[in-house]
Amino acid sequence: MLFETIRRDAHCVTILDQTILPLAWQNAQITTLEQMAQAIRSMQVRGAPLIGASAAYGLALGLLEDTSDTALTQYLATLESTRPTAVNLHWALARMDAFLRPLPVSARSEAAWQEADRIREADIAANHAIGKYGLSLIKALTAKHGGPIQAMTHCNAGALATCGWGTALAPIYLAHEAGIPIHVWVSETRPRNQGLLTAAELTANEVPHTLMADNAAGFLLQEGRVDMVIVGADRIAANGDTANKVGTYLKALAAHAAGVPFYVAAPWSTIDLATPNGRAIPIEERNGNELRHATGKLADGSTAQVACIDAAETVFNPAFDVTPAELITGIITERGVFAPHQLTSH
């Protein structure tokens, strides 16, 4: 990949600031737990797997100051409160807590950095395994339909959302690398426009793609111009119901009506067996100004935020929706591809 979303340099962390992408590519240095919590909250880092790794490093930053039980509990609570829907955050913090709590207080700080490194490295490995399992699905579609395969995605589930190759984009990258003709339909994903990040990624990696308005997805599926839909996930319930960026459910409905396979790609850490179904997944509602304003580049090359509507306008801005398991063809993980009902048996 052509960029790093997160890395640690001794006892500080460098992130790629995603709030200004794709208009500018700029790193930010994070030196405190509070800075990392704000980076997660403000979406300087985003994507469920990357949020999990970032939270782990945030805890390590906090433990530079105080390694007591009281501080550990407080730091965990601060980080857990940043984003409610993406379960990888809570999974990573629970893993850190289970690893650190039994250790002597004096050993916790350095151990936290080592465990955070392992979480990051495990995500990179999971991304590649997801890519290989997803590649087998693309090869099967190529054998059936010929090429190029027309794939549709939503939001950004690529390298920018993870520590490595990405989830939904990993099979696409591997297919492209293997010389399998593939073209990606990329929806803009209002209001945060994460689809623009996907387009920027695919451009950087020379993968053929076309950016489209979110509302064009149903038309393309209805016209038979899509062979597969593949998206990421922020939380997958035990029954296979999946929370992902708002607008995913509409694509799943349209894909189902058109008879197009709909895949979810995510590491196993995104599967929350303690959550029985989609109704139990907390859905984050974000600040309405994300809808009231838009950010763009001006003619002189500078960027600016402009108002799209009056500040008093009432808006509704859920960050996620839930796609029912019955609309999902398969869930691609680092352990293999599973039907939604198979998750609890693996």
Give me the residue spans of the domains in the chain: 6-122, 130-345
How far, in Å, are 89, 132, 237 from residue 332 at the CA level? 20, 10, 14
Residues 6+ apart with CB under 8 A from 12: 29, 30, 31, 61
Show the 3-state SS of 91-116: HHHHHHHHHHCCCCHHHHHHHHHHHH
User: Does an H or E element contain 16, and which?
Assistant: strand 12-16
Q: Break the chain down into helix, strand, coil percent, rounded to 5.
A: 45, 20, 35
Amino acid at 43: M
pLDDT of residue 2: 67
Determine how β-strand 271-272 pairs with β-strand 235-237.
Answer: parallel
pLDDT of residue 3: 80
Catalytic: 234? yes
133 with 94: CB under 8 angstroms?
A: no
Peptide bond into 282 cis (omega under 30): no
> What one-character DSSP code corresponds to residue 223?
T
Task: Report the C-alpha gap between 9 and 29 in whole angstroms.
Answer: 10
Amino acid at 197: L
Q: Which fold has domain 6-122?
A: Four Helix Bundle (Hemerythrin (Met), subunit A) (1.20.120)
Task: Report the C-alpha gap between 133 and 333 in whole angstroms.
Answer: 8
The closest alpha carbon to 196, from 328, 326, 25, belongs to 25
The closest alpha carbon to 281, from 84, 93, 91, 88, belongs to 84
218 with 258: CB under 8 angstroms?
A: no
pLDDT of residue 147: 84
Please report, in tens digits, the pLDDT of each residue of the chain (346 residues total): 568 999 999 999 999 999 999 998 999 999 999 999 999 999 999 999 999 999 999 999 999 999 999 999 999 999 999 999 999 999 999 999 999 999 999 999 999 999 999 999 999 999 999 999 999 999 999 999 888 999 999 999 999 999 999 999 999 999 999 999 999 999 999 999 999 999 999 999 999 999 999 999 999 999 999 999 999 999 999 999 999 999 999 999 999 999 999 999 999 999 999 999 999 999 999 999 999 999 998 999 888 999 999 999 999 999 999 999 999 999 999 999 999 999 998 8
Task: Report the C-alpha gap between 297 and 292 in whole angstroms.
Answer: 17
118 with 226: CB under 8 angstroms?
A: no
Enter the pTM of the model.
0.96
Q: Which two tokens stand for residue 302?
A: 């500078």
Helix 69-80 and helix 33-41: axis angle, to 10°? 20
Q: What are phi and psi of 151, to 5 degrees?
A: -105, 145
Q: Which fold has domain 130-345?
A: Rossmann fold (3.40.50)
pLDDT of residue 1: 58
Task: Report the C-alpha gap between 206 and 218 in whole angstroms.
Answer: 26
Please identify which of the residues 123, 227, 234, 241 carries the catalytic annotation. Answer: 234
